[in-house]
Amino acid sequence: MAEKQKSMFVTGAASGLGREVARYFANVGWFIGLADVDTAGLAETAKMLPPGMSSVHKLDVTDRAQWKKAVAEFGKHTGGQMTVLFNNAGIGTGGPIQEMTDEDIDRMIAINLTGVISGTRACFEFLKNTPDSCVLYTSSAAGIYGSAGLSVYSATKFAVRGLAEAHDIEWRKLGIKSRSLMPGFIDTNIIGAVDAGSNMTGKEKLQSVGIEVSPVSVIGPAAWNAIHGEQVHTTVNKMAKQLAFSARWFPNRLRKSLGLMEGLGNIVQAKPS
């Protein structure tokens, strides 16, 4: 790796948003650390990147020891530097909270929140040693206003939003920026499963009721703009932007509208985002 080459460590890199951001940044010359528990998916992602532009790391984000090992291995490729940590790995499980299992709730919090915190801690020294570094978190439109049928998922994404805001203040004097992406529905495998009751994918269900599903290609430029911009939060796609606007100016009207969409929480499946 060239001395001044920029680098990014990406969790959830085996599919979805992580894969797309890795591909986007590798294609403009960044060295990418691909991390995920899904080794087969990681291998597929690595093949999509230019030769010599990535390292592969098996990582369960709930395991702090694995975090330390993966980041140390990544640092061997980058001279101990990390321009960006894309703290992205997450899962979603929908449905009313009283119908969710304890295991579903614990796993979602462990991956979406505790794992994110562990990653930020594990990467801190690398970020501090790198000029103009940044932590980029994946929050969600569900972190803008609580979503019925997605209450625990929303709670984790609100928490990630808070981390981004707090760390941007805490680490400003260290030269580390903190940013979050807030996408609406993106065409990834988190909404790709077929529902046996309707024989429709989550994407098809959303589109059937007029809800926007954006192509995954929107996430690369959004990540680039977030990292290089001054706003802490970046909404991704029209749906998320409208939600943010309504949450600020018309919260009561928004609450009523979201009540009509309550059943959509069941569309979200427990798969990596």
pLDDT in tens, 100-151: 999 999 999 999 999 999 999 999 999 999 999 999 999 998 888 888 888 9
Using 50 as the pLDDT threshold, list the residues of the chain that sit under it: 1-2, 194, 196, 269-273
Q: Which of 153, 177, 203, 205 is catalytic?
A: 153
Determine how many CB atoms are found less than 10 A away from the CB of residue 131. 9
Active-site residue identified among 24, 137, 157, 177: 157
* Beta-bridge partner residues of 235: 182
Query: At a CB cut-off of 8 Å and minimum separation 6, what does 23 contact?
Result: 45, 48, 49, 220
Cα distance between residue 15 and residue 91, in whole Å:
12
In order of start, what are the domains of the chain with their CATH numbers?
7-267 (3.40.50.720)
Distance CA 231, CA 169 (A): 12
The whole-model pTM stands at: 0.89
Q: What does the pLDDT read at residue 33?
A: 99
Q: pLDDT per residue over 19-31, tens digit each?
A: 999 999 999 999 9
* Sequence-ordered strand ranges (E) for the chain: 7-11, 31-36, 54-58, 84-87, 133-138, 176-183, 194-195, 200-201, 233-236
Active site residue 153: yes
Q: How many CA atoms lie within 13 A of 45 on its CB side?
A: 33
Annotated catalytic, 145? no
Q: What is the pLDDT of residue 176?
A: 98
Q: Among residues 94, 131, 136, which one has the least CA distance to residue 267? A: 94
CA distance 57 to 73: 8
Report the C-alpha gap between 249 and 203 in whole angstroms.
29
For residue 94, what are its two tokens? 């929908």
